A and B are shown apart, each in its own frame.
Chain A
Amino acid sequence: MPVTTAPIVLRLDRITKRFGALTANDAISFELQQGEVIALLGENGAGKTTLMNILFGHYTPDEGSVEVFGQPLPPGNPRAALEAGVGMVHQHFTLADNMSVLENIVLGTAPLWRPGFGRAAARRRIKDLMQDYGLRVDMEAQVGALSVGERQRVEILKALYREARILILDEPTAVLTPQETDDLFATMRRAVARGLSVIFISHKLHEVTAISSRVVVLRHGRLVAEARTADTDAAQLAQMMVGAEVAAPQVRQANPGALRVSLRAVTTPDRGSAPGLKAVDLDLRAGQITGLAGVSGNGQAALADLIGGLIAPASGALHISDAPVTGWSPRAALAARIARIPEDRHKTGTIADFDLTENAVLELYARPPFSRRGWMNWRAARDFAQNIISGYDVRCPGPETRIRLLSGGNMQKLILGRVLETTPDVVLANQPVRGLDIGALTYVHEQLLAARDRGAAVLLISEDLDEVTALADVIHVISEGRMSPAFDRGALSVAELGVWMAGEGFDHAA
């Protein structure tokens, strides 16, 4: 969909990449013109990074081809990509901390062990590049001593020094302060003005609308939309990104009851680039599903950790069933009858090399009947695991199976069984269906609804807007750590929620 007649510098043709049963990229094609910024937009796991790794030669595609400046690019060869003029700035930097900025930039282009190695010439060239692109870094500083923003500038200089004509920036703003982001955008504008082309990967909508000329949206490995940025807006983009394929389960009328969890002006510290909570008010009621919508990395993790007992409020008050919490910890959260379904079931929810029995009692091992006076009762534990396996349809050879052998869906069912068997008062479900197939997904949703109908207060955190609108009785939107007011189901359209997700409603509301 060329908008001008500028020459095509990069053509991706039906790129397909599979990892086992997962199709990370499904026949993706698009073109990049000289002097434009394309934003590649998509949720976590949509296939953005995979696609760029194919372009840069880290992965070999199963099908399809890449053409740079009219020449086919040999697959799986980063050096060829470099030589063709493709430069990539990774999410995680690839710099040597114990070397100077100058040495890092030159590294790999000249033999460093030769005394001098044309240091003066290199210095002159880098100085010119800095001037041309508005990138300022102290060339003699050790990279280990630089801020994250400065390191990113070194990475960009590295690419420019290798005469990159196509710059790929993989979520570059994820690690930047707003001020640094503005500087980066200024550099990007200078780059395109000088005839470079940029692929900008992000899931922050306001940045995409601010810097890109065209948007390509990926979802579940497919290219689902391609549009001129001017023809669209943040709300529309949000809708394209999260899609609308979650089948709505049969939702019965909710019957809200007592206040189970309340947050009053709760603030938590920022963590790196991800914001903490900013004076958040939130009520979770019995017999109600509260949905939390929002684009990834806007404070959801902080909220989940807070209610899950991993962090305490820095300021503000957290009440559980009207009592202020003291000595807040995971154990205290469990004692307060809060069931937690963590975001990352592989890393946080289970221990891969433990068997199902050991994983089933992970949160319960310290109390009877699973242990008494420090002695484990493995028979009780095995019975409990067996109960979950049959009651929650966990497909596995038996309770002695190591959990790493289970599929994500079965792993999630075990976690679900583990937390729901205790008939909790509160259920904290953080991205409970991420990466699950449709069958497991529906099952998890039904269980959450059943927990609600039994009188549990459910908090459903999801980046999938349709999941939230389908299940939640009330919806909050979180953006940059700020919490929107509660909206009843159906009170706002998806487009209106998208506006909140883009962080635009808060100023008027405040």
Chain B
Amino acid sequence: MRLEPIANPALTRRLGLPALALAGTVVIASLLAMIAGAQPFSVLGLILNGAFGSKFATLETLNRATPLIFTGLAVAVAFKARLWNIGAEAQLYMGAVVTVVLGTGALAWPSAALLPLIALAAMLAGALVLLVPTFLKTRFGVDEVVTTLLLNFVVLLWVSMLLEGPLKDPMGLGWPKSARLIEEARLPRIIDGLRLHWGFGLALISAAVVWVIQRRTTLGYEMRAVGLNAEAARFAGIPVNATLIKTALLSGGLAALAGFSEVSGLKGSLTLDISPGFGYTGIIVAMLALLNPLGVVVAALFVAGIFVGADSMSRAAGVPTYLADIMLAVALLLMVLAIMLTKFRVRRG
């Protein structure tokens, strides 16, 4: 067997194969549900129902999708320029820490001034965390996969230290938990009475902004050129290292917004479990979206839907929620396979 590159894949191939990948995910998930002793299609129905079946469920899914849109965008932006940012988790926590530091009463500003300030400061902190590995990469050729991945643990331990020390809530009964944000530092709800905050709106705006940057600006052109062929980019006079640095700033900032949005919009305070791996899941989201910023929104809704739906499915059908993790893993593997098969044809001999 060998692989033969396809010069110009047809549209049916480029759209059909990812669709097939999703269909394959459904089939495999059904088989697994059967093994777990449930009716296969009822399980899928329960997941769908649990994710989008009611207003409450839909809002829950949108809330869950919000941080995934941010981290998915962060990863998509970086991967597009071949900057392998595996550290969205760390950047998310940096954003969350800054939100708590500035939002628990240190600044008594009105909401309209305080929220943008916190968001910008959070982005800056996330950007700085990614800047260090990027600098090591451009300057010394250090592999950023390793450094960004390991920084996740460093930052998480540092946050843990903060929550046991300076950021610990004195009223928290000893739990490692920060004080609550003041009301001015909370992202308001989009519609009164509905549990959906403006973080979701900010995520949608971010996706649109990233799309515009990539398609319409010189920076986006540079990022795509560097990602596709750094040697040709350098020859043509594109500042490759500066482009990578700018990409890192954007990517780190987007991931940090996930932390800002979770603390300010949803939780109101910082705990160590604020992210159940949103940074890592962002990689899956970005890959499922084929690194397209608008696709990230769709992929994040898909992934969030599976997680939220699996929770309620588990309660109703008695199938473990781990099915959600398996579905995501299968979806990712099949999507990667589909991407490869859009670019290559398998030939025998």
Contacts and interface: CB of A to CB of B under 8 A. Distances in A.
A363 B225 contact: no
A329 B237 contact: yes
Contacts of B233: 351, 362
B12 interface: no
Given A331-B237, A363-B237, A405-B7, A376 B232 contact: no
Interface in A352-379: 352-354, 358, 362-363, 365-366, 371, 374-376, 378
A347 B232 contact: yes
Contact of B229 (A310, A351, A363, A378): A351
21 contacts: A310-B234, A330-B236, A330-B237, A348-B231, A350-B232, A351-B225, A351-B228, A352-B228, A352-B229, A354-B225, A358-B221, A358-B225, A362-B232, A362-B236, A366-B237, A374-B217, A375-B218, A376-B216, A376-B218, A402-B8, A405-B8
A404 B8 CA distance: 9
Given A351-B229, A353-B228, A404-B7, A376 B234 contact: no
A308 interface: yes
Interface residues of B, number: 21
A348 B232 contact: yes
Contacts, number: 65
A432 to B, nearest CB: 15
How many chain A residues sit at the interface, stated as a range, is: 20 to 34
A349 B228 contact: no
B211 to A, nearest CB: 14
A349 B235 contact: yes
A334 interface: yes
A42 to B, nearest CB: 27
B229 A374 contact: no
Given A347-B229, A351-B229, A330 B217 contact: no
A349 B218 contact: no
A291 interface: no
A127 B234 CA distance: 49
Contacts of B23: none
Nearest to B222: A365
Contacts of B229: 347, 351-352
A330 B225 contact: no
B219 interface: yes
A72 B232 CA distance: 46
Tell me which of A333, A349, A366 has the highest count of chain B C-beta atoms within 10 A of its own C-beta.
A366
Contacts of A329: 237
A342 interface: yes
Interface string A328-341: 01110110000010
A348 B225 contact: no
Chain A contact residues: helix, strand, loop or mixed: mixed
B235 A375 contact: no
Interface in A271-315: 308-310
Contacts of A352: 228-229
Nearest to B236: A362
Given A351-B233, A376-B218, 4 more contacts: A308-B235, A358-B225, A362-B238, A378-B216
A98 B184 CA distance: 60
Interface in B4-58: 7-8
Contact of A365 (B221, B231, B232, B239): B221
Contacts of B218: 365-366, 371, 374-376
Given A375-B216, A375-B217, A405-B8, A354 B228 contact: yes
Contacts of B216: 375-376, 378
A378 B39 CA distance: 54
A187 to B, nearest CB: 36
Contacts of A333: 237
Nearest to A358: B221
A310 B230 CA distance: 13
Contacts of A349: 232, 235
A378 B217 CA distance: 10
Contacts of A365: 218, 221
Contacts of A366: 218, 237
Contacts of A310: 234-235
A329 B225 CA distance: 18
Interface in B133-149: none
Q: Name the residue among A342, A347, A365 with the largest chain B CB count within 10 angstroms.
A: A365
Nearest to A345: B232
Q: What 6 A-B pairs are tightest by C-beta distance, nearest first?
A: A330-B237, A331-B237, A362-B236, A351-B229, A363-B236, A348-B235
Nearest to A342: B235
B191 to A, nearest CB: 35
Contacts of A363: 236-237
A405 B8 CA distance: 8
A378 to B, nearest CB: 8
A325 B217 CA distance: 31
A377 to B, nearest CB: 10
Contacts of A342: 235
B225 to A, nearest CB: 6
Most chain B beta-carbon neighbours within 10 Å: one of A349, A354, A402 = A354
B235 A374 contact: no
A347 B230 CA distance: 9
Contacts of A371: 218
Interface in B208-262: 216-221, 224-225, 228-229, 231-239
A331 B229 CA distance: 17
Contact of B235 (A330, A358, A376, A378): A330
Contacts of B236: 330, 362-363
B113 to A, nearest CB: 27
Interface string A173-209: 0000000000000000000000000000000000000
B144 to A, nearest CB: 22
A375 to B, nearest CB: 6
B186 to A, nearest CB: 34
A401 to B, nearest CB: 9
A375 B218 CA distance: 6
Contacts of B232: 347-351, 362
A371 B217 CA distance: 8
Nearest to B226: A351
Nearest to B7: A405
A365 B220 CA distance: 12
Contacts of A353: 228
Which of A309, A329, A330 counts the most B-chain CB atoms under 10 A from its CB? A330
Contacts of A358: 221, 225
Contacts of B224: 354
Interface string B293-331: 000000000000000000000000000000000000000
A7 to B, nearest CB: 36
